[in-house]
Amino acid sequence: MEYAIIAKYILSFHDNSPMVIENGTVLIDGTDIVGVGKDLNIDDAEVINFGNHILMPGLINTHTHAAMTLFRGYADDIPLDSWLNDHIWPMESKLSSEDVMNGAKVAAIEALLSGTTTINSMYWHPDAEARAFSEIGIRGMIGAPIISGINTVKTFEHIFSDWHGKNDDMTRVSINPHAPYTVTGDEYLQIHEYKNNFNQSSDIPINMHTHLAETKFEMEMIRKYNLENGSAISDDIKTSTEYLDSLDILDDKIIVAHAVECTDKDIKILAENKVGVSLNPISNLKLGNNISKVDQMYRAGVKLSLGTDGPASNNSMDMFETMKINSLLQKSVNNDPSRGKAFETLKMATYGASKVIGWNTGAIEVGKKADIILIDLNKPHLQPIFSHNSLISNLVYATKATDVSDVMVNGKWRVRNREIPEINLKNVYENLNKSVYRLIE
């Protein structure tokens, strides 16, 4: 299907510069953007004029645990160690594939309705998340956490053949060592080797996706964990980032989540190795962890993106909220309102995130996949708009998830007038609650 979509403002990014076209058109043919501008030939297209809207790239959530909608509100106001060991992990041991399917569907719906077109989710029963994302129509990267003594790369090998690059390349699989305090150095090396071997023979590469530098005590946990598994770490290694670097596994096909306890040396390591970082400011705040040195990372050239983390440690899949908090935190911790600029944060959630996750999305330009969202500007909190800078500031500091009116993923409308066609939301929500009640029992 060919569409000519007209909007008051078309917003995109190219490298470090925002691009705004007023009263422009985006031409879409099949899954691709084939034209962007003012004087396009639209004679053969279905013309949709949205009027006073912003058309922009869909947001990309580079780190979450989607099906944890099941545990939203279950273990709030508890430190991370107790949250995991005493509450979340015992509940997760009872999960079925159907439970994960039910939770992931709700996450995908919530994400689409709030303008997110791509999710990178690390969670159990990844095939169930893949089916859920496919059914709802969101672009998804899936993969189970690998934890020593519980599973290995081989456990999920069939997921790669079943799902990676399938669904018109709407679904990809990542390989996910959970964290350096739950996976040994030898296992990280094995996973890294598997990733490299896979990528040498595949047109669609896979990423490694892991937690890193999330808490102050992480290095202490890593030393203890490795000693328990017969391996000592040199005293010269001071941080978890230095530790992974010492294994020689950091490269441009690894995504690390959180990175709140990174030193200046760590930031240099991440930049030099072109590591993709997913910042999760709201989850870190809620779990009482630190605040990432986002401004320093940005200036150092680290590949930055944003994530919500799971709905149990954030309670929301709202990337607009994540963008606002990310910018405000940088102003506060640096005592400088010029830090955390709106366009930098917006780029992290779109163009920058596409570089981290590896899909040809994240911008409104010819050749990109048609993952787009439309923001309704006919709202009091989005007025006035008197310049392109004010437009971008409003998107980060004032826009709400409910301002998203329409969403297209891979050239198909998934949200129209804030409704998801052909999805019975009542049944989806009922199935989620049935799973939750069963798990609690």
Which residue segments constitute the domains of the chain, with CATH numbers given?
A: 2-57+361-415 (2.30.40.10), 59-357 (3.20.20.140)
What is the per-residue pLDDT across 78-108, written as a single tens digit (0 to 9) for each?
A: 887 888 889 888 999 999 999 999 999 999 9
Return left, alpha or beta for 3; rule: phi > 0 is left, psi -120 to 50 is alpha, else beta: beta
* Residue 116's pLDDT band (cuts 50, 70, 90): very high
Please check the confidence at residue 14 and state whether its pLDDT lies above 80. Answer: no
Identify the residue with better confidence: 17 or 120: 120
**Residue range 357-395, pLDDT digits in tens:** 999 999 999 999 999 999 999 999 999 999 999 999 999
Average pLDDT over residues 192-196: 97
Higher-scoring residue by pLDDT: 35, 422:
35
Q: Which residues contact 9 (CB under 8 A, 6 or more apart)?
A: 20, 21, 22, 24, 53, 54, 55, 377, 385, 391
Return the pLDDT at 231. Answer: 85
Distance CA 367, CA 436 (A): 43
Mean pLDDT of the chain: 96
What H or E segment, with its residue span, contains residue 210? strand 208-212
**Do residues 204 and 165 make contact, with C-beta atoms less than 8 angstroms apart?**
yes
Give which of 167, 69, 175 is closest to 120, Cα–Cα.
Answer: 175
**What type of residue sits at position 240?**
S
The pLDDT > 70 percentage for the chain reads: 100
pLDDT at residue 334 greater than cutoff 90: yes
Token pair for 202: 């595949």
d(CA 12, CA 317): 22
Determine the average pLDDT of the residues in 292-319: 96
Q: How confident is the model at residue 351 (pLDDT cuts 50, 70, 90)?
A: very high
One-character DSSP codes across 334-359: TT-TTSS-HHHHHHHTTHHHHHHH--
Cα four-point dihedral sign 185, 189, 192, 198: negative
- For the chain, the residue count is 441
pLDDT of residue 17: 80
Mean pLDDT of the region 322-347: 96
What is the Cα–Cα distance from 163 to 127, expressed in whole angstroms? 8
d(CA 197, CA 127): 22
The yes-or-no verdict on residue 75 having pLDDT over 90 is: no
pLDDT the model gives residue 227: 87
Of 59-63, 228-232, 436-440, the range with the lowest mean pLDDT is 228-232
Residue 352 has pLDDT above 90, yes or no: yes
Spacing of C-alpha 246 from chain mean position: 27
Q: Taking residues 220-246, report their average pLDDT.
A: 92
pLDDT in the model for residue 84: 84
Bigger pLDDT: 58 or 84?
58
Does residue 46 contact residue 39 with C-beta atoms inside 8 Å?
no
pLDDT tens-digit series, residues 394-428:
999 999 999 999 999 999 999 999 999 989 999 99
What are 157-167's pLDDT values in tens digits?
Answer: 999 999 999 99
Question: Comparing 16-20, 294-298, 377-381, which segment has the lowest mean pLDDT?
Answer: 16-20
Residue 39 pLDDT grade (very low, low, confident, very high; cuts 50, 70, 90): confident
CB atoms closer than 10 angstroms to residue 441: 6
Confidence check: pLDDT of 16 > 90 = no
